[in-house]
Amino acid sequence: MKDTPPLRVDVPYRDLREFLDRVAGIGELKEVAGASWDLEIGCLAELIYHRHQESPPAILFKDIPGYPGFRCVSGLTNSSRRLALTLGFPLSPKPLDVVRSYRNRMKVHAPIPPVVVQDGPILENILRDGEVDVLKFPVPKLHELDGGRYIGTDDLVVMRDPDTGWVNVGTYRVMVHDGQRVGLWTSPGKHARQIREKYLRRGEPCPVLICCGHDPLLFLAACNEISYGISEYDYVGGHLGQPVEVIESELYKLPMPAQAEIVLEGEILPGDTLPEGPFGEFTGYYASERGEKPVVTIRRIYHRNDPILTVATPMRPPSDFSFSKCVTKAGMIWDEIERAGLAGVRGVWCHEAGGARMFHVVSIQQQYAGHARQALHLTASCQSASYMGRFVVVVDDDIDPTDTFAVLWAMSTRCDPVADIRFMEGAWSGPLDPMVDKATNTNSRALIDACRPFERLASFPLVASASEELKATVAAKFRHILDQ
């Protein structure tokens, strides 16, 4: 009998604080003292992440003026090595290694439901009713034109489907209106939106938890399109190889991570809306206008002592989370298109310039006529890539999908625009898309076949590049020149 390889290469960290210790241990934590919640935290994230370093650090903001003892953290999973730490993969600086590990994990991944425990650090402080004040925390105003301070960016919004009991955990932006009221924005089609509509159609309040400090693995699951009906808690359990520990909230018995830093509990009442937004978004624009959005009235706050608020700063990419989205999305797409039966996939990459959603490249070893088009259609329509997609490019397996230069070369030399670019219309998009068709809330997609034509594979002009053997020999002989 064959031994099953261990799911993870490490023992999972216990909580966000132990994760931060591990990040510091690999030299990828930058501590910043004295930055204000008022634009400085957001602007520093932009300054640091726009430097195009190989592995921009996670940023721990401390000594925030007016908030002694409180900290904010951003960019937790935004490097190949920090992602590997989060997911328990071998540490590698190469994005495609992590993508491959993700897709390999999914071959053995089985969801594990959470376990309810009675106690945990999140219960260290409980504020009830009149004590509730969400501005007790150093909630940042991230961009100059934002409509307010956003407590929910790297957050987990927990809701229970009233029909099935399924618990969804999603990341959706949350703006503070005042100490007891926040605005929650969910795009049409998102799971929380579907669940909320069910309660409101019945004229019932929709119970909500908003977790604002937690294990980064929960954030990775919450901000990606996990299939409808699968709880992100179960999905994360499958990555940990053990159940997530949750505690039931006081009012609505909704599960909150026992090790979380800050959790808000409340409800959305039918018809209760206030103006929300605008907010600088991941596409690089303030695309959704200020408008009436549902309000969550907060009736409980749970928090650890000296809590840490997790922050994500959407902006013109790259941002403090865009790279991590590229890797996880690429791994998920790879897994989904293979599950749909596609052979010969050699790599998938979601480009950061497209905010991990709008420019995807799949590399395949072509095996039959129509293979490349099949790869395009599956990629454009799979659950992980469907929302707000724009361009999908398929390339041959000699092209590294992460290498923009190589991808553009393939598009320039192996694609006949009239014959090889096809369009999809009426696809899932939403108000954040600067090019959305506002009448229908949909967009169109370009599917670009940049593979050599299958029927010309044998006769296609050869690539004018030295062989690997020749390059190795000449490089060895002239190392003194090349290393200068």
Ligand X SMILES: Cc1cc2nc3c(=O)[nH]c(=O)nc-3n(C[C@H](O)[C@H](O)[C@H](O)COP(=O)(O)O)c2cc1C
Residues 24, 19: Cα–Cα separation, whole Å: 9
Least distance to ligand X, CB of residue 385, Å: 12
- Three-state DSSP class for residue 23: helix
Do 42 and 313 contact (CB within 8 A), yes or no? Answer: yes
Residue 120 or 138 with smaller CB distance to ligand X: 138
Which alpha helices (DSSP H) does 241-370 contain, by range?
322-339
Structure tokens at 167: 């618990």
The angle subtended at Cα 29 by Cα 27 and Cα 35, nearest 5°, is 150
303, 304, 309, 310 alpha-carbon torsion, rounded to 10°: -100
Q: Which residue is associated with the tokens 């039959």?
A: 368
Q: Whole-angstrom Cα distance, residue 345 to residue 337?
A: 9
Q: Rounded to an integer, what distance in angstroms lies between the CA atom of residue 394 and that of residue 363?
A: 6
- Token pair recorded at residue 392: 């999908």
Q: How far apart are CA 235 and CA 113, in angstroms?
A: 8
**Comparison of 232 and 265: residue with beta carbon closer to ligand X:** 232
Q: Which of 192, 212 has the CB closer to ligand X?
A: 192
Separation CA 186–CA 192 (nearest Å): 7
Smallest distance from ligand X to CB 168, Å: 5
Identity of the residue, 356 or 372, whose beta carbon is nearer to ligand X in the bound complex: 356
The helix (run of H) or strand (run of E) holding residue 361 is: strand 359-364
Q: How far is the CB of 159 from ligand X (least distance, A)?
A: 9
Residue 217 dihedral angles phi and psi, to the nearest 5°: -65, -35
Task: State which residue, 61 or 172, has the beta carbon closest to ligand X.
Answer: 172
Task: Judge residue 236's burial from the number of C-beta atoms within 10 Å of its C-beta, 0-12 exposed, 13-18 middle, 19 or more buried.
Answer: buried
| Phi-psi category of residue 392: left, alpha or beta, with phi > 0 → left and psi -120 to 50 → alpha | beta
The least CB distance from residue 172 to ligand X, in Å, is 4
Residue with smaller CB distance to ligand X, 163 or 469:
163
Contacts of 434 (CB under 8 A, 6+ apart): 283, 285, 287
What's the min distance (Å) between Cβ of 416 and ligand X?
A: 35
Query: Of 224 and 429, which has the nearer Cβ to ligand X?
Result: 224
Binding site for ligand X (CB under 6 A): 153-154, 168, 170-173, 185-187, 190-192, 223-226, 312, 314, 321, 387
Closest to ligand X by CB, 215 vs 420, is 215
- What is the spatial distance between Cα 52 and Cα 306, in angstroms, rounded to a whole number? 32
Ranked by CB distance to ligand X, the top (closest) residue is 170
Closest distance of CB 46 from ligand X, Å? 14
Beta bridge partners of 7: none
3-state class (DSSP) for residue 377? helix
Nearer Cβ to ligand X (172/349): 172
Q: How far is residue 467's CA from residue 175's CA, in Å, rounded to a whole number? A: 56
Q: Is there a contact between 431 and 276 (Cβ–Cβ < 8 Å)?
A: no
SS3 131: helix
228 versus 478: smaller Cβ distance to ligand X: 228
190 or 239: CB nearest ligand X = 190
What sign does the CA torsion over 189, 190, 196, 199 have?
positive
